[in-house]
Amino acid sequence: MPRIALAFLIASFAGSVGVARAQCPPNYVGSFLTTPSGTPIVASVHRDSMCNSPHDCRWHSSWDHAAGQAACDANTACFTEVPDAGDVGQFTADDYVLTGPASPNPISFVVQMHVSGTTGQGCTMDCSSGICQTVCNYGSLSASLKEGAQTSSAPSAPSLNTNLQLSLAKSVGEHFQLGMKLQARAACNALAQVAYDLTFFLPPEYGVTSCYGYSMPAPTAALRASWGRLKTLYR
């Protein structure tokens, strides 16, 4: 193949990948974030943090959509009268499509978000009443999984180890968007950590793939197609 033609094909493929990625749903992360807002982040893999110095960070955030995983942690410093609060909200989302043999009826399956995390007990000296005393408490964690009007949530708690599940029914080739939330709030001079792992429980021969590169294998040729090719086939 002539070099010019080859270069054109490579450039065209790169352009199509960029367009596909630009159409993926945005992600958000930030201090005290309770709703998806702020600067949208369109990235399959991302790491972020809020740090005063390399050794003094209020929070860290990371996700890997292709692996179906995300995590965040927060750390609150209370060495002064005004706490340097560690509170982070992380909102991730991806667009998925069901693949497998054609069926006249929607395919029923379950999506599960396993959430785990802990917070440490933090103590500080409270002199607001005029009498100084040590006050100790734990931080809080929360999480949710959302698709359309359905939401499965883990309410705020000092620790989490639970499965958030949604029962779905989709046609082969049908797109659906999942939204995953993690929130970590640390107590004074303590750490709060939370993470999730995403899994799909599907009938034999069916699978899912996503805009950001998630792929749950199934013994069908359709799963080996690229995201752009799948969108063309099922559009």
DSSP string, 2-50: -HHHHHHHHHHHHHHHHHHHHTSPPBEEEET--SS-SS-B--SEEEEEE
Q: Give the pLDDT band of residue 82 (cuts 50, 70, 90).
A: low
Residue 97's domain comprises 3-234
Q: What is the mean pLDDT of the chain?
A: 82
Q: Give the pLDDT band of residue 8 (cuts 50, 70, 90).
A: very low
- DSSP code for 66: G
The separation between CA 90 and the C-alpha centre of its own chain, rounded to angstroms, equals 7
3-state helix, strand, coil in the chain (%, to 5): 15, 55, 30
Is 50 exceeded by the pLDDT of residue 157? yes
The separation between CA 165 and the C-alpha centre of its own chain, rounded to angstroms, equals 15
Rounded CA gap, 58 and 36, in Å? 20
Give me the pLDDT at residue 133, please.
Answer: 78
Q: Give the pLDDT band of residue 141 (cuts 50, 70, 90).
A: very high
Is 80 exceeded by the pLDDT of residue 234? no
Q: Give the pLDDT band of residue 84 (cuts 50, 70, 90).
A: low
In the chain, pLDDT over 90 holds for what percent of residues?
A: 63
Residues in contact with 13: Cβ distance below 8 Å, sequence separation at least 6, in sequence order: none
The dihedral region occupied by 98, where left means phi > 0, alpha psi between -120 and 50, and beta the remainder, is beta
Higher pLDDT, 216 or 90: 90
Q: Give the pLDDT band of residue 204 (cuts 50, 70, 90).
A: very high
Pairing between β-strand 159-170 and β-strand 107-119 as defined by DSSP bridges: antiparallel
Give me the pLDDT at residue 51, please.
Answer: 85
Contact between residue 145 and residue 180 where contact means Cβ atoms under 8 Å apart: yes
Compute the average pLDDT of residues 67-85.
Answer: 81
Q: Give the count of domains, the chain.
A: 1
